[in-house]
Amino acid sequence: MKKYWWPLLLIMVLTAACRHQNKPLSFYYWKTQFTLNDYEKSVLNEHAVTSLYVRYFDVDFKPDGKEPEPVSPIKPDSSIRAYRVTPVIFIRNRTFERLEATTIPMLVKNVAFLVNLINQSQGIRPQQIQFDCDWTERTRDKFFEFIKQYRALTNQTISATIRLHQVKYKEITGVPPVDYGVLMYYNMGAINGDNNNSIYEKSIADKYNTYIKSYPLAMDVALPVFSWGLTIRNGKVVELLNKINFSQFENDSNFIKAASDRYQAKHACFKGGYYFKENDQIKQEHVPASDLLDITNQINKNTNHKIGKLIFYDLDSTNLVQYERDVFEKVLSNLN
Amino acid sequence: MKEMFSKKYLATLISTFAVGTGIILACAGDWGPEYGTSSFTPEAFVDSGYRPFFYSGYSMYYDIGYDTKHDSRFNESNVNDWSTYLGNGAPVAELQHLLNTTTLGSIDSAANYASGKTKTLPASMQSFQLFKKLNSKTTSFLNYLVLAKKSEEFAISNVQYSWEYEEKKKRGPYANAAALNAKLLSEFTIAKDPFLKQRYWFQLERSYYFNAPTQKAIEFFESNEKAFPKNDMYYRTMAYAAGIYYTLKNYTKANYYYSRVFEGCAALRTVAHYSFHPQEQADWNATLALCANNEEKATLWQMLGIYYGDDVRAMQEIYTMNPKSEKLNILLARAINRQEQEFSLWNDGIRDNIINVKKDTTGNNLLAFVSRITQAGNTSAPWMWHTATGYLYMLKGNTAKAAASYAQAEKKLPKAELAQLQLRLLKLINIIASTPKADSKLEKAILPELEWLANLKMEDGEFRHSSALNWIKQTLSERYKAQKEFIKAVCYSNYTGFYINNSNIEAMKSFLAKPNKTPYEALYAKFYALTTNDLLEFQAIDLALHDKLDEAIVKMESIPNGGATLPGNPFNGRLQDCHDCDHEAPQKIKYTKLSLLKKMKDMKDKVKAGQDVYTNAMLLANAFYNITHYGNARAFYEGRITGEYHYSPFSIGNEFRNMLTDMTLANKYYTQGLNAAKTDEQKAKCYFMLAKCERNKYYNDSLYINRTYEYGDQPSMPDFKAWDGFRSLKQYKTTKFYQEAIRECGYFRTYSQR
């Protein structure tokens, strides 16, 4: 019996080694000033993160505007130079609803111009770009044309965020002409203040999972590590509370706990820069570590191991401190 | 000179998250006006200085969207101020040029010229009157302007989100701040003229704001502010002081000053509003405690009401301190304009949102509050409160109380036109809402009012009346329908069911042609959407689709030009229907609706007379096929009654779907063709065409009959059916037509291989 022991161990070690050849880990950076605090730096160091997806600016075509405009371009500091950066441009879908097809070349040039300015400000030379747009059947042609022309102009590797509904209804919304996609495995539900979690809800994810396999693009996957609050007034969500610290409601006599994930304003008051009317409910939504692991199980089951890398949304210590420090490692190693 | 001091304004408009599913906030209707469904014109009640804060369903600021005047807000008032200071010798055009266009270099040269340091003026200014009569005031002005232009380097952004944004913002700190501050301070100290002194005070405070030191900014403002009159310049300076307090996280003081700016300077209201931002309840309480009097507190509550949408709480607080406060007006208007959106419903007939009167608990709190204050009768504008109370009662279906409130409002109504129009409109709605039956008494009562409303030449944005007019027309139409007065019903709101019955159409034609209509008849005739020609054309189409070609021709002949020209040859008969192919194909003869009918009539006569029956019957059958929804001549039946652009039979109105998709006549004449056919080729063709009719009928009867099948759940239908026509066609395997059908029609090919 003893002589079989060694080969068996060898196989186990090899398998384990294969399993632990982790995929790369990355983060989205989604604030208007690029500057990393010590906690954020330490998390990046610990996980040997070398690449970041950095939101550069939004593009919007406002109802009262004459042309698409950049909104809140990022102001990076020199710490950005330590990372391989993929600029991310969020384009509001209404931009393509209003844009004339003939002006796409102008938009392409403007976007490339501003991306370049921001790169130059820190002397970095990204080779990739990512476009984040919740495009629809009505805007797909213009968005896809924009991507094609952007590639023709810059010759860069282009990726796009892909939402679950775009995976399920790919015959209607089409598949963008990009080099790879990033599957946004969050924000799948309606933000309506009901008892579902609008960031991640398994029952909703189940409606989409089976379609992932047949999506004809190489894909990375983005997982949510953010939380937010919803202010609910007369049954309707009236405000999104970003990055709000939920524990501050605990010892405030203006609020009572209405449910495990909800507080209610006893009196109208200001709190954390927000105003709450009497009887407003504040619902917390976040994705606990157990759900992150569950998501990777779903992805393992439904993607044919096609996932290239894992990107967490978003890099901000107020998000990261909500988790044990090893959660990223655990989630990553759980992904096949 | 210009300014810009809303730094955080730039940081807050970012896509917070890449959200896939947005939250729908109070968005009224589907891209209607930003005020949604509204019959309550805020301009009638509220000072125009509050216009940006009128309720808007989707904009930051009413009418203007965003505040984009950071660099230009005071251009005009600067010119006026300096013009007054300099007196008669200063032409406005020259001041405009110097203040708003000229570069620092040119101003520098001009100042040197004025002080005698140089002998020549810049070319662009050589003709200026200002330099012909130089005096000490002109010199002071130019010296000031040199420093002011220098300050523009840091104080002006020159960008409104242009693509060069990054480059322009990347200026870095202003290098000569220390020297500039010293110079400004010295000018401020030696200035004797209060006008000049205050302007230097402003310039230096602004420079401290942008260039530091911040502590000095605070001292400089606080130690001098009492010395100056409370004019725009005072509040512009105060706004910078507020900004400094904000950056020092002294939100209490920052918000207090912003509220003072909001109250004191209408031009800066959007800026003060945008910057006003209490963080914690303690800041807010402390800000209230800073107020020197109730009037200042009232402004804070007013800002809270506007910014955070808690209108009722804000009004309550202000009212308790001062029932006569005019700060209540904007809050009441906003509360009503927001509340009306809850009483709005999509109406299919009007294709728009209209008022939806409903008797439930919606808006009870607001109504209770507003009516309590109205009854107390101690506000500065009782008529506004009575009108608001009446309107809220009316929306909730209590027309008696509404009428009583309107009567009270009338007693105290101002003479202003908008006030008069507003009450008149609401009273008219109420009269109709309160009378369930549309009888002659009601007609008499509303006749002059409706004439007034229908002839009103004002835009809805000036006086909000369209939604009310739509509601009135729809409501009267429904009343008349219930009373079986269909002519009136269809005039007030057109509905297709009316045209099913030909006697209705005849009655309508007589009504339209009637001379000497009564004034009320003339009124509703004017509302009618169609003309006699539309009716005649519809009758002609209807007759044609019932094989009554003679009569159809008579009707169609009475329309100018014989109706529209048809895009393809209506006598084509294809194996596979292809409308685009037919429309693109060259045509020797272009048919109008009328000439088609005449040609069809010729063929029908020939069939009857036994002349070349096969050919004529087949062409006639093709034409009857083509003038249905399945054929290439849909244009024949398209009109203002039947509708147009039907993308599928589902999109045809229920009343006409059967009429426009029916295959009976095509079938009838293809069968006659078959009966007259002599050769196998001819027979084969007939059977194929009959199969097409059979197929269309099958889908009419099993799919299109049920509207719910349009989206989603469709009935389980076989993928394949062998039509009788195909079965019969199998006998003619040797014909050329059969071979062609095999080649062209995959469906038939599949069948033939079974």
Smallest Cβ–Cβ distance between A187 and the set B15, B21, B167 belongs to B21
Closest among A75, A77, A28, A74 to A51, alpha carbons compared: A28
Task: For residue B532, give both structure tokens.
Answer: 């006699």
Query: For the residues B511-532, what does the mean pLDDT come to?
Result: 97
| Other beta carbons within 10 Å of B728 | 17
Chain B's closest residue to A161, CA to CA, is B18
Residue B1 predicted with pLDDT over 90: no
Confidence grade of residue B375 (pLDDT, cut at 50, 70, 90): very high
How far does the CA of residue A115 sit from the closest CA of chain B (Å)?
Answer: 10
How far does the CA of residue A272 sit from the closest CA of chain B (Å)?
Answer: 5
Helix/strand/coil for B677:
coil
Helix/strand/coil for A241:
strand
pLDDT for A243 equals 78
Cα(B468)–Cα(B343) distance, rounded to whole angstroms? 12
* Integer angstrom CA distances of residue B186 from B144, B189, B199, B659: 12, 5, 13, 90
Chain B's closest residue to A60, CA to CA, is B15
Chain B's closest residue to A191, CA to CA, is B23
Task: For residue A291, give both structure tokens.
Answer: 């759900």
Q: What is the pLDDT of residues B288-308, one digit of tens each?
A: 999 999 999 999 999 999 999
Closest among B381, B442, B447 to B408, alpha carbons compared: B381
A71:B14 CB<8 A: yes
Sequence-distant (≥ 6) Cβ neighbours of residue A44 within 8 angstroms: A27, A36, A83, A315
Closest among B62, B76, B425 to B273, alpha carbons compared: B62
pLDDT for A325 equals 85
* Integer angstrom CA distances of residue A201 from A189, A211, A237, A286, A298: 7, 17, 18, 10, 12
Residue B415 predicted with pLDDT over 50: yes
Contacts of B21 in chain A (CB under 8 A): 187-191, 198
Give me the half-sphere count of Cα atoms (radius 13 Å) on the Cβ side of residue B736: 3
Q: What is the pLDDT of residues B226-264, one digit of tens each?
A: 999 999 999 999 999 999 999 999 999 999 999 999 999
Burial B22-45 (b: 16+ CB within 10 A, else e): ebeeeebbeebbbbbbbbbbbbbb
| A35 φ/ψ angles, rounded to the nearest 5 degrees | -155, 135
Confidence grade of residue A307 (pLDDT, cut at 50, 70, 90): confident
Cα(A119)–Cα(B266) distance, rounded to whole angstroms? 42
pLDDT for B717 equals 77
Contacts of B279 in chain A (CB under 8 A): 270, 272-273
Q: What is the pLDDT of residues B400-412, one digit of tens each?
A: 999 999 999 999 9
Sequence-distant (≥ 6) Cβ neighbours of residue B442 within 8 angstroms: B431, B432, B435
Question: In degrees, to the nearest 5, what angle opens at C-alpha B48 toward C-alphas B46 and B54?
Answer: 65
pLDDT for B83 equals 95
Cα(B559)–Cα(B553) distance, rounded to whole angstroms? 10
In eight-state DSSP terms, residue B348 is T
Sequence-distant (≥ 6) Cβ neighbours of residue B101 within 8 angstroms: none
Residues of B with CB under 8 A from a CB of A: 10-11, 13-23, 25, 58-59, 64-66, 160-163, 165-167, 170, 277-281, 283-284, 304, 307-310, 313
B59:A69 CB<8 A: no
Contacts of A58 in chain B (CB under 8 A): 14-15
pLDDT for A66 equals 84
CA dihedral over A215, A217, A220, A225, signed as positive or negative: negative
Question: In degrees, to the nearest 5, what angle opens at C-alpha B455 toward C-alphas B31 and B493?
Answer: 60
pLDDT for B299 equals 98
Helix/strand/coil for A158:
strand
Which residue(s) pair with A220 in the sheet?
Answer: A182
Give me the half-sphere count of Cα atoms (radius 13 Å) on the Cβ side of residue B526: 13
Task: For residue A14, give both structure tokens.
Answer: 């090899």
Smallest Cβ–Cβ distance between A63 and the set B65, B283, B309 belongs to B65
- Strands, E assignment, A51-209: 51-60, 69-71, 75-76, 84-91, 128-132, 157-163, 180-184
3-state SS of chain A: helix, strand, coil percent to 5? 35, 30, 35
Question: In degrees, to the nearest 5, what angle opens at C-alpha A153 toward C-alphas A149 and A158?
Answer: 70
Measured in whole angstroms, how far is the alpha carbon of residue B513 from the centre of its chain? 37
Cβ pair A222, A311 in contact under 8 A: yes
Burial B289-299 (b: 16+ CB within 10 A, else e): ebbeeeebbbb
Tally C-beta pairs within 8 A across A and B.
109
Residue A4 predicted with pLDDT over 70: no
Task: For residue B600, give both structure tokens.
Answer: 């069809």
Contacts of A69 in chain B (CB under 8 A): 160-163
How far does the CA of residue A144 sit from the closest CA of chain B (Å)?
Answer: 18
Contacts of B308 in chain A (CB under 8 A): 275, 277
Cα(B335)–Cα(B322) distance, rounded to whole angstroms? 19
B15:A71 CB<8 A: yes
A275:B280 CB<8 A: no
Confidence grade of residue B145 (pLDDT, cut at 50, 70, 90): very high
Cα(B300)–Cα(B409) distance, rounded to whole angstroms? 29
Residue B327 one-letter amino acid? K
- Position of tokens 């993160």? A49
Confidence grade of residue B171 (pLDDT, cut at 50, 70, 90): low
Smallest Cβ–Cβ distance between A72 and the set B10, B277, B278 belongs to B10
| Other beta carbons within 10 Å of B103 | 12
| A276 φ/ψ angles, rounded to the nearest 5 degrees | -120, 135
Confidence grade of residue B33 (pLDDT, cut at 50, 70, 90): confident
Cα(A116)–Cα(B110) distance, rounded to whole angstroms? 41
| Other beta carbons within 10 Å of B727 | 12
Q: What is the ipTM of this complex?
A: 0.74
pLDDT for B18 equals 37
Closest among B510, B508, B499 to B643, alpha carbons compared: B499
Q: What is the pLDDT of residues A201-231, one digit of tens each?
A: 888 888 899 899 889 999 999 999 998 999 9
Task: For residue B685, give both structure tokens.
Answer: 């063709």
Cβ pair B350, B468 in contact under 8 A: no
| Other beta carbons within 10 Å of B710 | 13
β-pair type (A157-163, A269-271): unpaired
B21:A58 CB<8 A: no
Task: Provide the terminal-to-terminal Cα distance of chain A, rounded to the nearest Å.
Answer: 33
B13:A71 CB<8 A: yes
Confidence grade of residue B718 (pLDDT, cut at 50, 70, 90): confident
Q: What is the pLDDT of residues B326-350, one digit of tens each?
A: 999 999 999 999 999 999 988 877 7
In eight-state DSSP terms, residue B703 is T
Residue A203 one-letter amino acid? S
A64:B64 CB<8 A: yes
Which is more confident, A235 or B443?
B443
Sequence-distant (≥ 6) Cβ neighbours of residue B454 within 8 angstroms: B469, B523, B526, B527
Domains, in order of start, for chain A = 24-225+287-334 (3.20.20.80), 227-286 (no CATH)
In chain A, DSSP finds a helix count (H) and a strand count (E) of 11, 18
Cβ pair B335, B312 in contact under 8 A: yes
Closest among A221, A334, A226 to A287, alpha carbons compared: A226
Task: For residue A23, give both structure tokens.
Answer: 């995929």
Confidence grade of residue B159 (pLDDT, cut at 50, 70, 90): low
| Other beta carbons within 10 Å of B228 | 16
A268:B313 CB<8 A: yes
Helix/strand/coil for A336:
coil
Cβ pair A111, A78 in contact under 8 A: no
Helix/strand/coil for B719:
coil
Smallest Cβ–Cβ distance between B16 and the set A242, A275, A277 belongs to A242
Burial B344-380 (b: 16+ CB within 10 A, else e): beebeebebbbbbbeeeebbeebbebbbebbeeeebe
Helix/strand/coil for B682:
helix
A273:B277 CB<8 A: yes
Cα(B196)–Cα(B180) distance, rounded to whole angstroms? 17
Contacts of A238 in chain B (CB under 8 A): 25, 309
Cα(A165)–Cα(A151) distance, rounded to whole angstroms? 25
Smallest Cβ–Cβ distance between B163 and the set A113, A191, A275 belongs to A113
Sequence-distant (≥ 6) Cβ neighbours of residue B217 within 8 angstroms: B205, B208, B209, B240, B241, B244
- Which H or E run includes B382? helix B382-395
pLDDT for B169 equals 55
Mutate to test the interface with B, among A60, A64, A136 (most CBs of B within 10 A): A64
